[in-house]
Chains A and B, each alone.
Chain A
Amino acid sequence: MSKNAKRDTPEQEEFRRYCRDWLASNVPAAPNFKPLKNGAEVATQQHLEYYSVWQKSAYDAGLVGCDYPVEYGGGGRTHCQSIANQEMLRAKTPILPGAIGLGMAAPTIFFHGSESLKQRLLPKLLSGEELWCQGFSEPGAGSDLASVQTFAERRGDKWVINGHKVWTSTAQFATWMILLARTDKSDKYNGLTYFVVPIKSELGKSVTVRPLIKITGETGFNEELFDDLEIDDAFRLDDVGKGWQVAMTTLAHERGAGPLTTPMSGGQGLAEDKDSKPKSERSEFPLIKLAQHCVRNGEPAIDDPVIRDKVMNMLIRQVGIKQNRRLRRVPGLADSQRLTLQDKLLGTEYLQDSAALALEIEGPAGTLSNFDSAAPDNGMWPLAYLSSFGGTIAAGTSEIQRNILGERILGLDKSK
């Protein structure tokens, strides 16, 4: 029995056993492409088909959306999603393509949507039959999210939307978008209203979705233009002018700090632990091996005392982050909120700085991309470094994270 299982309620215990039984014979075969690590990476029709079949099958079995009420397509259970997540990760399942719907749209609709919206939207969201994307950021509204200018004008029981959203993952596949729009130009925070918008049915008409190429050369990122898109007032969440508060529900769940647990699966393609022992620090921390293999100026990089010092410093950061997550759960020894709010900043900056150090270790070989067969570590590090900026910019930049820490934990005046 795993350590997690020891603390299960009777319902959780029974459900865990059920998940394990089902997963024993229902994890799909590996795809014929490199498995993706999260739903935002879904970029091709082939990806979409493979992962949508998996989400539907996990949903039909009751492993996705199990904590949502039955009338909204859920499983009607209590605190069972975390059990399903643990078991899916343990079984090394494929990722869920509907991550934005599951992690952001679903809890927002659940807490702020009308009864009929919940019944209409949640079942196909949970099953993955309809994908969602997030229409928050705009060319002029990044960190200062409340400055969005996309305007929704009321005409009777309809709204007419004009504007421009940007940096949107998976919009090219999405049926729906959660949209933060301005309904009153005179009041920054209270002039916002939150909608769910059918974009796929309006494509080529009042909605245009254009792909953006990321810094890595990859697609998957989009911008959307709205030109007199007309939607029904029934697609509004909560009251007119309450958009900011509704958006906070979305962002809290995006950070994993909301009351509902997001369905998550993954782990497909990770190396099997042969002896089921915990992974050694060395395999979790690839820079030592890299520094032993790379030659700088004729000597192994690890023999350069400056490189060695930097590698040890990075190892100390990596272990520190792990211990920080452990400390967070010890009451009386640590302030859990103070540690939790650091997590995004710590993790994303570590990925960035360790990738930069890998490039330094590689020296001239660090110039080689993943398309050059001579590249060390299959050329993963230049790409890892470039990708890392997604982490330090998205979902609240590192600068915004530092503001949050200074303001919420140290009580400093707000920088807005």
Chain B
Amino acid sequence: MTATSKTIQQPKDFGFDADALALKDVAEKFFQDNLPTQKLHALVAHDSNLEHGTVSRWDADLWQQIVDLGWLMVSVPERVGGMGMSAVAVATLVEQAGRAALPGPLVPTLNVSYILGACGTDNADAALSLICEGSTFSYAACNKSGSWEHDTSDLVIEGGKLTGEVHFVQDAQKVDYFLVNAKLVNDNQGVDTTLVAVPANAEGLSIMPNAIIDLTRDQARLQFDQTPIENQQIVSAPGKALEALRLATPALLVTISADICGAAEWQLQTTAEYARTRKQFDRNIGFFQAVKHPLADFMIAIDLARSHLYNAACAIDFEPEKAEQFARMAKAAASDAAAFGSKKSVQLHGGIGFTWECFVHIYMKRQLHSQTLLGDASHQRAKLAELILSQS
């Protein structure tokens, strides 16, 4: 993922080759067969008590099938035993998982695999091997206010011990490891942002689940109290963690945008199906332009977001100097499409849409959560403006 001075042309087809098409088709069928919406509803929405928002609800058997299919290592480089697939292939896989609203640490683990790949150290490669063996990871970096920057972690490593709190950690109850962003205090060189791999059962680590609205995820605050850190757990090269995070940022934005786009397509198709069959005033409600036009607008918003998604994914592999710009566009477009579509999906279902038994709330809640991850639409536009104006 190193930037070159020469401008490389993106392939017209986004690099969407036969391998990518095969992965997409398999994933689409897998989720249709194994996680239909009825099953998802039974899995995550059997309990409507919001006090239980701390509970991690998922199907561990289904997850094992996903691990067995090798989907955790699609973005792990081949040199360490992964599949090394193109970013556009990974994006289409995640889209299908998002369409099924899959509960499980797929996006968190893929994201960590991109960060580890950008670290390029032996320790990072060893952590990537763990992913190839089926271990799951989640990246932990947010401070209490949920900053989306990479250098604002409140965690400190001093004298081989990790201490402090990190917030908004995704799927914390499900993963085997955390990739922790901490400030390493050196003997005399001050502090250095550092990435360390920490097992979920590490000594001195307490996982404190948040009560969240999204039924398809869990989220937690991690408390580290003198957790011992060995040298081989440090996966970033000295002084290079922020550079690795900067390189991986487009991929992190692409995976979450892909999840949003997939979920949005479910929202569109489900709401269109309702508009084709629900009768009021003696007509299917889709006849009325007050229903038809917002659905057309939602479709357009999804397709613009998907166009950005593949452009950004393709840039990761072929035009790295543009990847962050395009990825920020993709996350902004996806987040806005989700906000608009979620609202319409509930509103156009009318009274039934306001109830727990209707499925649309599950996706609306997942989208609300996804919209904020790694920065919402207005944050992405602010970062995009910085990038573009700095070039002038």
Residues of A that sit less than 8 Å from B by CB: 3, 281-282, 288, 292, 302, 305, 308-309, 311-313, 315-317, 319-321, 323-324, 326-327, 329-330, 332-334, 338-339, 342, 345-346, 399, 401-403, 405-407, 409-415
Bound CA–CA A330/B10 (angstroms): 14
Give the Cβ gap from A348 to chain B, nearest Cβ, in Å. 13
Bound CA–CA A326/B291 (angstroms): 29
Give the Cβ gap from A303 to chain B, nearest Cβ, in Å. 10
Query: Quick check: A332 and B24 within 8 Å, CB to CB?
Result: yes
Residue from the list A3, A320, A345 in contact with B307, Cβ < 8 A: A320
Residue from the list A323, A411, A413 in contact with B310, Cβ < 8 A: A323
Give the Cβ gap from B392 to chain A, nearest Cβ, in Å. 7
B16 at interface, CB cutoff 8 A:
yes
Query: Quick check: B308 and A406 within 8 Å, CB to CB?
Result: no
What are some 17 contacts across the A-B interface (CB < 8 A)?
Answer: A3-B12, A315-B384, A320-B305, A323-B307, A326-B307, A327-B307, A330-B16, A330-B310, A332-B16, A333-B92, A346-B300, A399-B293, A402-B289, A407-B292, A411-B286, A412-B287, A412-B292
Q: A308-B385, A339-B303, A410-B299 are in contact. Are A332 and B293 (CB under 8 A)?
A: no
Which residues of A are found within 8 Å of B289, using beta-carbon distances? 399, 402-403, 415
With both beta carbons as reference points, the residue of chain A lying nearest to B329 in the complex is identified as A316
Q: A329-B12, A332-B24 are in contact. Are A316 and B276 (CB under 8 A)?
A: no
With both beta carbons as reference points, the residue of chain A lying nearest to B9 in the complex is identified as A278
B272 at interface, CB cutoff 8 A:
yes
Q: A406-B293, A413-B276 are in contact. Are A333 and B14 (CB under 8 A)?
A: yes
Query: Quick check: B284 and A413 within 8 Å, CB to CB?
Result: yes
Which residues of A are found within 8 Å of B13, using beta-carbon distances? 329-330, 333
With both beta carbons as reference points, the residue of chain A lying nearest to B92 in the complex is identified as A333
Bound CA–CA A323/B327 (angstroms): 13
B42 at interface, CB cutoff 8 A:
no
A-B contact sample (15 more), CB < 8 A, given A308-B385, A333-B24: A282-B388, A288-B389, A288-B392, A292-B392, A313-B332, A316-B384, A319-B311, A320-B329, A326-B14, A403-B293, A406-B286, A406-B296, A410-B292, A412-B272, A415-B292
- Most-contacted residue by chain B among A302, A311, A410 (CB, 10 A): A410
With both beta carbons as reference points, the residue of chain A lying nearest to B332 in the complex is identified as A316
Q: What 10 A-B pairs are tightest by C-beta distance, nearest first?
A: A412-B286, A323-B307, A406-B292, A320-B304, A413-B287, A312-B381, A405-B296, A402-B296, A410-B272, A324-B307
B283 at interface, CB cutoff 8 A:
yes
Which residues of A are found within 8 Å of B385, using beta-carbon distances? 308-309, 311-312
Query: Quick check: B16 and A412 within 8 Å, CB to CB?
Result: no
Q: A329-B12, A411-B276 are in contact. Are A405 and B299 (CB under 8 A)?
A: yes
Give the Cβ gap from A3 to chain B, nearest Cβ, in Å. 8
Q: A342-B303, A412-B272 are in contact. Are A309 and B392 (CB under 8 A)?
A: no
Q: A323-B307, A324-B304 are in contact. Are A338 and B299 (CB under 8 A)?
A: yes
Contacting residues of chain B (291-330) with chain A, CB-CB under 8 angstroms: 291-293, 295-297, 299-300, 303-308, 310-311, 326, 329
B378 at interface, CB cutoff 8 A:
yes
B260 at interface, CB cutoff 8 A:
no
Bound CA–CA A321/B306 (angstroms): 11
Query: Quick check: A319 and B382 within 8 Å, CB to CB?
Result: no
Which residues of A are found within 8 Å of B303, using beta-carbon distances? 324, 327, 334, 338-339, 342
Which residues of A are found within 8 Å of B305, using beta-carbon distances? 320
Bound CA–CA A346/B13 (angstroms): 21
Bound CA–CA A414/B284 (angstroms): 10
Bound CA–CA A319/B319 (angstroms): 15
Which residues of A are found within 8 Å of B392, using beta-carbon distances? 282, 288, 292
Residue from the list B306, B332, B378 in contact with A334, Cβ < 8 A: B306
Bound CA–CA A311/B382 (angstroms): 10
Query: Quick check: A309 and B378 within 8 Å, CB to CB?
Result: yes
With both beta carbons as reference points, the residue of chain A lying nearest to B17 in the complex is identified as A332
Contacting residues of chain B (334-392) with chain A, CB-CB under 8 angstroms: 378, 381-382, 384-385, 388-389, 392
With both beta carbons as reference points, the residue of chain A lying nearest to B381 in the complex is identified as A312
Q: A282-B392, A333-B14, A412-B292 are in contact. Are A405 and B378 (CB under 8 A)?
A: no
With both beta carbons as reference points, the residue of chain B lying nearest to A413 in the complex is identified as B287
Which residues of B are found within 8 Å of A320, using beta-carbon distances? 304-305, 307-308, 329, 333
Which residues of B are found within 8 Å of A346, using beta-carbon distances? 300, 304
Which residues of A are found within 8 Å of B300, using beta-carbon distances? 342, 345-346, 405
Query: Quick check: B381 and A323 within 8 Å, CB to CB?
Result: no
Q: A333-B310, A338-B299, A410-B299 are in contact. Are A317 and B304 (CB under 8 A)?
A: yes
Residues of B that sit less than 8 Å from A by CB: 12-14, 16, 21, 24, 92, 268, 272, 275-276, 283-284, 286-289, 291-293, 295-297, 299-300, 303-308, 310-311, 326, 329, 332-333, 378, 381-382, 384-385, 388-389, 392
- Most-contacted residue by chain B among A327, A339, A403 (CB, 10 A): A327
With both beta carbons as reference points, the residue of chain B lying nearest to A3 in the complex is identified as B12
Which residues of B are found within 8 Å of A413, using beta-carbon distances? 276, 283-284, 286-287
Query: Quick check: A415 and B307 within 8 Å, CB to CB?
Result: no
Which residues of B are found within 8 Å of A308, using beta-carbon distances? 381-382, 385
Give the Cβ gap from A184 to chain B, nearest Cβ, in Å. 27
Residue from the list B14, B297, B326 in contact with A330, Cβ < 8 A: B14
Which residues of B are found within 8 Å of A292, using beta-carbon distances? 392
Which residues of B are found within 8 Å of A334, using beta-carbon distances? 303, 306
Which residues of B are found within 8 Å of A330, using beta-carbon distances? 12-14, 16, 310
Bound CA–CA A410/B388 (angstroms): 37
Give the Cβ gap from A327 to chain B, nearest Cβ, in Å. 5
Which residues of B are found within 8 Å of A327, using beta-carbon distances? 14, 303, 306-307, 310
Which residues of A are found within 8 Å of B292, using beta-carbon distances? 402-403, 406-407, 410, 412, 415
Give the Cβ gap from B329 to chain A, nearest Cβ, in Å. 5
Bound CA–CA A415/B392 (angstroms): 49
Bound CA–CA A407/B292 (angstroms): 8
Bound CA–CA A205/B16 (angstroms): 62
Which residues of A are found within 8 Å of B332, using beta-carbon distances? 312-313, 316
Give the Cβ gap from A30 to chain B, nearest Cβ, in Å. 31
Give the Cβ gap from A86 to chain B, nearest Cβ, in Å. 15
With both beta carbons as reference points, the residue of chain B lying nearest to A321 in the complex is identified as B304
With both beta carbons as reference points, the residue of chain A lying nearest to B298 in the complex is identified as A410
Give the Cβ gap from B193 to chain A, nearest Cβ, in Å. 28
Bound CA–CA A320/B384 (angstroms): 14
Which residues of A are found within 8 Å of B14, using beta-carbon distances? 326-327, 330, 333
Bound CA–CA A323/B382 (angstroms): 22
Which residues of B are found within 8 Å of A342, using beta-carbon distances? 299-300, 303
Bound CA–CA A311/B308 (angstroms): 17
Which residues of B are found within 8 Å of A326, using beta-carbon distances? 12, 14, 307, 311
Bound CA–CA A282/B389 (angstroms): 10
Bound CA–CA A412/B268 (angstroms): 12
Which residues of B are found within 8 Å of A315, using beta-carbon distances? 329, 384, 388
Bound CA–CA A329/B310 (angstroms): 13
Query: Quick check: A415 and B287 within 8 Å, CB to CB?
Result: yes
Q: A316-B329, A316-B332, A410-B272 are in contact. Are A309 and B296 (CB under 8 A)?
A: no
Query: Quick check: B307 and A316 within 8 Å, CB to CB?
Result: no
